[in-house]
Amino acid sequence: MSTTKPTEPVKIAIIAIENNPFFAQVKAGYDAVKPKVEAAGGTVDWINAGTDVTVDNIGDAMSAAVVDGYDAVAALMPGDGICTYIQQADSRGVLVAAYNGNASCAERSGALFFHGQDLRAAGMEAGKLMCAATKNLADASKPGVVGVETESFTFQALEERRLGFLDGLKENCPWVTQAGGGVEYQTSTDRVASATRDYLGSTKDLVGIYVTGGNPQIAAQTVASAGRTSTVKVIGFDFTAENVAQIKAGNMYAAIGQDPYGQSYDTIVWLYNALVDKQKPSPDYFIPTAAVVGTRANISVVTAAK
């Protein structure tokens, strides 16, 4: 963090949702950096925009932060509709950073940087993992299908993960395909469980479940309850305590981490530095987090190093 003291109070807001254990890890990064920002002469606040990642929820929170006099805002980017709000903030001299999920128009609308996962690449990696997990369950002579569960088809970040996953299957094991068009669960753990039960009960040659967003541990628990962990592999994202427990138990094949702590901590530090030193954290708009794969073989190691 810059040692430059601001000549006047600096206010930063980080806008988040709170609908799954992942965001508790994001908040841990905020909690750690908050006293450092305050010691340097600024303030930073966590703003809960609700449970659904929608343009209206995030956009309204951004607009309120601008009205409330924040100098910089870090926010999720649900989709291109958010860019009107970025433009409005930028016109008022408020710095905007995207984290966790990006929008294709964010940079040209005035966002300073995006710090998060390379979402399409992460989805492709998940597809490769599913191929590895199911290589003894499905092959060219015995095709298999994978159930895809996503929080929202309109949340651009999760669509990137879904489409990347399908690319990964096509490139590495084209005999494994998506079952239907996928299922939207809209943050509901009950819907994750219900969708998983539906796939288990009605999908012939099911070999896997892929969860693009929060709470993949529910899918893993549901598969385990049905006694199907040996033939149906679950892959999702994030090293939450819940996911780690399911991986260690052998109920979830793998999860891909995305540094939630750094997504908040680093983003807030870079916004503070940009305010007091007028410096961008990088000449590049996209500043990626590390994508780490955790399986039963290495989960204790990768979570200890986190």
- pTM greater than the 0.95 cutoff: no
Separation in Å, CA 19 to CA 52, 96, 111, 183, 213? 7, 23, 25, 18, 10
Distance between CA atoms of residues 203 and 133, nearest Å: 18
For residue 305, the model assigns a pLDDT of: 60
For residue 181, the model assigns a pLDDT of: 86
Helix (H) or strand (E) segment spanning residue 237: strand 233-237
For residue 140, the model assigns a pLDDT of: 84
Q: Which residue(s) pair with 172 in the sheet?
A: none
Q: Are 224 and 251 in contact (CB under 8 A)?
A: yes
For residue 6, the model assigns a pLDDT of: 84
For residue 109, the model assigns a pLDDT of: 97
For residue 217, the model assigns a pLDDT of: 97
Nearest to 77 by CA among 301, 266, 285: 285
Distance between CA atoms of residues 40 and 226, nearest Å: 54
Tens place of pLDDT per residue across the chain (306 aa): 787 788 888 999 999 998 888 999 999 999 999 999 999 989 999 999 998 889 999 999 999 999 999 999 999 999 999 999 999 999 999 999 999 999 999 999 999 999 999 999 999 999 999 999 999 998 888 899 999 999 989 888 999 999 999 999 999 999 999 998 899 998 899 999 999 999 999 999 999 999 999 999 999 999 999 999 999 999 999 999 999 999 999 999 999 999 999 999 999 999 999 999 999 999 999 999 988 999 999 999 988 864
Helix (H) or strand (E) segment spanning residue 121: helix 119-133
Helix (H) or strand (E) segment spanning residue 241: helix 241-248
DSSP type of residue 20: S
Helix (H) or strand (E) segment spanning residue 70: none
Q: Mapping DSSP to helix (H, G, I), strand (E, B) and coil, where does residue 228 land?
A: coil
Q: Are 201 and 232 in contact (CB under 8 A)?
A: no
